[in-house]
Amino acid sequence: MNAATPNASNESIESLIRGLESLQDGARAENMLITIGQPAVPHLTDFLLHTRPRTVAEPRVRAVRALGALGAYPALVKYFREGELASDAQVLFAEDAVRSAVANELLRWKTEETFSVLLQAAEHRATEGLLFAFGEFCRPESVPLLFHSLEDDLCREAAMAALRKLPEQARAYAVQSLKDLTNIQIRGGNARWRCRATMKLLRDLGVSMHDWQKIHGFLFEEDAGIVLSAAQIGLNAAPPSEYPAILQAVIRVADRFNCFEEQEATDLFLSSGPLARKMASLAEQQRLDRGEEPRWQLPSWRILRHVIDGSSKGRHYGTA
């Protein structure tokens, strides 16, 4: 904690508070307020709690960082407990950066109270930084909220990172959620993205053969990303007798892969040995027998040819 700088008047502190708004001198004002020490805390607190949020977040983020450096725990907690969310969408989006900054500063005090404050704040409105801080506690009771956050494009990666720190609880909850055994509804709205993320999480965490039998039906989904993750899980958890059906599922949706999924699918086939090469050769021959011409602009044709050739390297083909 910083000792107070002599002769720091209220007027000079208020001048520095206004300086937080400066594009050029805002960082300097932040550092000088930290140097002043405790006399600056009431002014910073008032700025954070009683000035109206705007579409530019950085001045308030600077105030948050200064409060954290000065040990102003009560002010940061009060921000979450008493602050109201903005009604304007642009302001609300900007204020998410402030919420993330407050959460990060609260990690200086990893107490039960801090966890409770972060949990309530995340339930009210999650942000990437808030979920990251929340996840640092590695508490099992956070799992439901983290899974709920998988629907949010801006929070998904932070939620997944936090869930990876709780592998046993996350694995069990993921399997349950995919079987509709919890409040989470996989279908509808943004639930497809949550399902995708859940399958990717299980791919990373691994599942038992018993759990695989609960989720193997996702091989028959129409969403290519979900099918690919299900196949990646299956080739590690399913009995070998299921491998042909798993690889066939990947071929079925291959033309809907994006470039990253196409590479993953190619690698998946190549890692599956002679069986995959045999299936790729058969699938390509069946297409040719039907009179289809190779269409190298389609992922399925490229995947089959790479597997037959035994190469995961992309190559240039002329379009049909």
pLDDT at position 193 is 86
Domain boundary, last residue among 69, 84, 109 = 109
Model confidence at 200: pLDDT above 60: yes
Does residue 77 form part of some domain? yes
Domain boundary, last residue among 109, 133, 167 = 109
Domain boundary, last residue among 79, 109, 139 = 109
Does residue 203 form part of some domain? no
Does residue 94 form part of some domain? yes
Reported as a single tens digit per residue, the pLDDT across 55-92 is 999 999 999 999 999 999 999 999 999 988 999 999 99
Does residue 10 form part of some domain? yes
Contacts 24+ apart (CB under 8 A), 138-144: 138/165, 138/166, 139/115, 140/166, 140/169, 142/166, 143/169, 143/170, 143/173, 144/173, 144/182, 144/183, 144/184
Does residue 117 form part of some domain? no
Model confidence at 1: pLDDT above 60: no
pTM: 0.83
Does residue 162 form part of some domain? no
Q: Which residue has the higher pLDDT, 187 or 316?
A: 187
Q: Rounded mean pLDDT of the chain?
A: 90
pLDDT at position 7 is 60
Q: How confident is the model at residue 14 (pLDDT cuts 50, 70, 90)?
A: very high
Q: Tokens for 316, please give them.
A: 């240039």
Q: How confident is the model at residue 184 (pLDDT cuts 50, 70, 90)?
A: very low
* pLDDT (mean) for 114-142: 94
Does residue 197 form part of some domain? no
Reported as a single tens digit per residue, the pLDDT across 208-224 is 999 999 999 999 998 99
Q: How far apart are CA 127 and CA 117, in angstroms?
A: 14
Is the four-CA dihedral 284, 288, 291, 293 of positive or negative sign? positive
**Full domain range(s) for residue 65:** 1-109
Could you tell me if 180 and 206 are in contact, meaning their C-beta atoms sit under 8 angstroms apart?
A: no
Q: Total domain count for the chain?
A: 2
